């Protein structure tokens, strides 16, 4: 058979991404004055936040509650600062790298966190943030955390001392941007020392760790739950990732409306914050994501739907919880939450949920709360910090999120109220006040969804298609009733391939492999072939190849883009379809009636980085000063727009 190579770069819904940051709350590595990178830093005095009047902070909190302001669980006070970390840090230069260390002390604080309002890390830069002696440590934080808001917030660290340590290529040090705008001074001790009961934090002793026997069988659901840090690092709630009717990989996150503060773009979401044992001997290691956008919220059922700014990658094992909008009462289930900001807990119920006409707990804090499920707990309770946490039914589906209620370890027989998912579905009747607009992209009548693994699409090269000896030609001209070997370039994680052949084409061998043998149709004409790659998360985007059977071909003008990936020059050239193109080029499937066109390179935020008009059918962009990553090439002639993905690789 004549070899025919079909090379396609797929976008997987299960590829591994680095858009995540891990925090170890009980780090075994002791970090000395030489820091994480073990360098001899010049000793500089730390930045000092003076002691705060804790009694006044408690009084302020009580006044807010007394004024009827529904608030999440408050743990700290934001102290405005103006700190240029790069300028204030102590630096060491060594073998082409710069190492910096900067320390803040919030005198007398029970905990500390920081908020960067100017944040940018260049390529090949690492940042670690840790408490005294490195007992709690976050990192490495890399350029993957750069975002259009230029904001990044740390987690909450035990004690009064926090250190930021940086490693960057010396040539990139001037491009490191780290400005701290506020320090969260913790006045509540959410990290109490170990006690005989084996619990951590300040939650009541009747709360049950998520990995105790009561949590058996709820592993996927607990992987959807996160502790929220909002209010510039000062307040806590809980929430969960939720699925949608299309099983689309969109990071929707459900929590309580009364957690809203208008600054969700700067919130932190901490997943997997559980003790690894039922009676733990250590605290949690969790995964942090920063920032979200508001989609909808409504007071009547106290719900708020967000979309995280980052899509958790598959290797993070974060799930999107299934849900039910049925009006029928669940007979048993669980609540999964973070009471008082503690490690994840699970509460169980074994009596049917009540659905009162209105909330049985009238409150000046939530005066418009009406549509609730009321639960009586068999094991465990809820507390401040549990707000917004999911309530699951016997089928492991979310039916509501925590609004309010008087339960506690001192009153375990008291009941709690959860805003009903079925009411939140229709909400206030508008996109900004209901769930259905966002969670029902199929506009289906389905009442339930299942819990699924969230899988992130990775960056990908553009589609590469080439016949023997040629690269980048689409459409291609093949002979009738001839056999060819097709080949798909390696796709990481692929377990099989799905080929959709046009009429008259047939497989000779390897129908679900990357290298099938295919016989073309006997009739002349134009055909389209499709292929997608598959793995445990589903299928990649489907790509196509147009095939002309017969003499065809002509001198149709095509656009070739090469090399891709590139580290220096990127060439965009109008070329006849029968021209042989060298390796590392791509050709679009669009034709141009003449060689004049415009092109530009933009980043993921549509910021223009390069632009030009063709001369003699050609544009060459110098990309040496563009950072390594995935970008988009827009090619325009008249009303025709061709968009291709390009990879800049240093």
Beta bridge partners of 646: 631
CB contact set of 214 (below 8 Å; sequence gap of 6+): 208, 334, 346, 348, 379, 380
CA distance 391 to 382: 11
**Are the C-beta atoms of 297 and 305 separated by less than 8 Å?**
yes
Please check whether residue 324 is in contact with residue 310, taking contact to mean a CB–CB distance below 8 angstroms.
no
Active-site pick, 258, 272, 338, 371 = 258
Of the residues 7, 387, 460, 574, only one is catalytic, namely 387
- Over 403-451, what HEC string results? EECCCECCECCCCEEEEEHHHHHHCCCCHHHCCHHHHCCCCCCCCECCC
Tell me phi and psi for residue 423, to 5 degrees: -75, -40
Tally the C-alpha atoms within 13 A of residue 284's C-alpha that lie toward its C-beta. Answer: 29
CA distance 380 to 361: 20
Q: Alpha-carbon distance 625 to 643, whole Å?
A: 22
Give, in order, the Cα–Cα distances in Å from 556 to each of 312, 501, 559, 574, 593.
43, 25, 10, 10, 8
List 182's β-bridge partners, or say none. Answer: 80, 115
H-run or E-run covering 56: helix 54-66
Residue 352 DSSP symbol: P
* Alpha-carbon span 246 to 401, nearest angstrom: 22
Residue 258 annotated among the catalytic residues of the structure:
yes
Buried b (16+ CB within 10 A) or exposed e, 504-539: ebeeeeeeebbebbbbbbeeeeebebebbbbbebeb
Residue with tokens 């320090």: 183
> b/e string for 76-113 if b means 16 or more Cβ within 10 A?
bbbbeeebebbebbbbbeeeebbbbbbbbbbeebbbbb
Name the active-site residue from 7, 101, 182, 302: 302
Q: What are phi and psi of 97, to 5 degrees?
A: -125, 150
Q: Is 387 a catalytic residue?
A: yes
302 is catalytic: yes
What are the beta bridge partners of residue 587? 560
d(CA 499, CA 30): 54
- Look-up of token digits 């196509």: 544
Query: Per the structure block, which two tokens stand in for 46?
Result: 């730390």
DSSP string, 95-160: TTEEEEEEEEEETT-SEEEEEEEEEE--TT-EEEEEEGGGSSEEEEE-GGG--TT--EE---EESS
DSSP 8-state assignment for residue 457:
P
Give Cα 510 distance to the centre of its chain. Answer: 36
What is the total residue count of the chain?
Answer: 650
Contacts of 545 (CB under 8 A, 6+ apart): 6, 465, 474, 475, 476, 528, 529, 530, 531
Q: Please identify every residue annotated as catalytic.
A: 258, 302, 387
């Amino acid at each position: 058979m004549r070899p025919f190579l079909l090379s396609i770069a797929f976008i997987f819904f299960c590829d591994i991404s680095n858009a995540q940051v891990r925090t170890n709350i009980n780090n075994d590595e002791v970090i000395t004055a030489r820091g994480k990178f073990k360098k001899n830093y010049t000793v500089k005095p730390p930045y000092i936040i003076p002691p705060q009047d804790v009694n006044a902070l408690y009084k302020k909190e009580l006044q807010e509650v007394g004024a009827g302001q529904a608030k999440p669980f408050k743990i700290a006070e934001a102290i405005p600062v103006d700190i240029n970390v790069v300028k204030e840090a102590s630096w060491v230069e060594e073998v082409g790298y710069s190492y910096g260390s900067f320390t803040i002390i919030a005198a007398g604080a029970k905990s500390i966190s920081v908020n960067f309002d100017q944040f940018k890390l260049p390529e090949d830069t690492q940042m670690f943030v840790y408490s005294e002696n490195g007992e709690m440590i976050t990192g490495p934080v890399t350029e993957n955390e750069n975002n259009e808001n230029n904001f990044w917030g740390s987690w909450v660290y035990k004690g009064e001392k926090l250190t930021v340590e940086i490693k960057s290529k010396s040539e990139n040090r001037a491009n490191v941007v780290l400005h701290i705008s506020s320090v969260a001074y913790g006045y509540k001790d959410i990290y109490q020392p170990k006690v005989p009961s084996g619990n951590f934090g300040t939650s009541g002793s009747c709360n049950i760790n998520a990995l105790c026997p009561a949590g058996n069988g709820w592993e996927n659901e607990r992987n959807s739950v996160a502790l929220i840090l909002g209010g510039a690092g000062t307040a806590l709630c809980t929430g969960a990732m939720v699925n949608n009717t299309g099983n689309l990989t969109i990071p929707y996150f459900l929590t309580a409306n009364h957690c809203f503060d208008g600054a969700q773009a700067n919130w932190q979401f901490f997943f997997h914050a559980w003790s690894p044992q039922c009676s733990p001997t250590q605290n949690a290691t969790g995964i942090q994501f920063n920032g979200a956008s508001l989609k909808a919220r409504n007071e009547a059922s106290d719900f708020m739907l967000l979309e995280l700014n980052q899509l958790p990658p598959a290797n993070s094992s974060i799930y999107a919880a299934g849900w039910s909008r049925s009006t029928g009462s669940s007979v048993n289930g669980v609540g999964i939450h973070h009471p008082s900001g503690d490690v994840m807990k699970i509460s169980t119920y074994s009596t049917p949920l009540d659905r009162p006409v209105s909330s049985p707990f009238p409150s000046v804090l939530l005066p418009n709360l009406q549509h609730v499920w009321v639960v009586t707990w068999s094991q465990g309770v809820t507390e401040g910090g549990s707000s917004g946490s999911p309530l699951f039914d016997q089928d492991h589906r979310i039916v509501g999120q925590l609004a309010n209620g008087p339960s506690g370890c001192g009153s375990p027989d008291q009941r709690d109220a959860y805003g009903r998912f079925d009411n939140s579905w229709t909400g206030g009747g508008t996109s900004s006040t209901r769930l259905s607009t966002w969670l029902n992209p199929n506009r289906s009548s389905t009442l339930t969804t299942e819990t699924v693994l969230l899988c992130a699409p990775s960056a990908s090269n553009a589609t590469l298609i080439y016949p023997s000896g040629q690269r980048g030609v689409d459409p291609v001209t093949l002979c009738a009733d001839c056999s060819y070997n097709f080949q798909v370039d390696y796709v990481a994680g692929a377990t099989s391939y799905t080929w959709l052949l046009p009429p008259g084409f047939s497989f000779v061998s390897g129908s679900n492999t990357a290298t099938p043998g295919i016989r073309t149709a006997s009739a002349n004409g134009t055909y389209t072939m499709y292929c997608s790659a598959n793995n445990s998360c589903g299928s990649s985007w489907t790509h196509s190849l147009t095939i002309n059977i017969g003499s065809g071909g002509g001198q149709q003008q095509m656009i070739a883009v090469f090399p891709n990936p590139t580290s220096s020059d990127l060439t965009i050239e109008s070329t006849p379809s029968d021209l042989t193109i060298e390796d590392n080029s791509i050709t679009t499937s669009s034709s141009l009636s003449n060689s004049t066109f415009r092109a530009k390179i933009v980043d993921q935020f549509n910021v223009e980085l390069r632009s030009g008009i063709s001369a003699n059918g050609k544009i060459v962009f110098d990309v040496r000063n563009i950072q390594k990553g995935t970008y988009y090439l827009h090619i325009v002639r008249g009303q025709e727009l061709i968009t291709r993905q390009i990879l800049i690789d240093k």
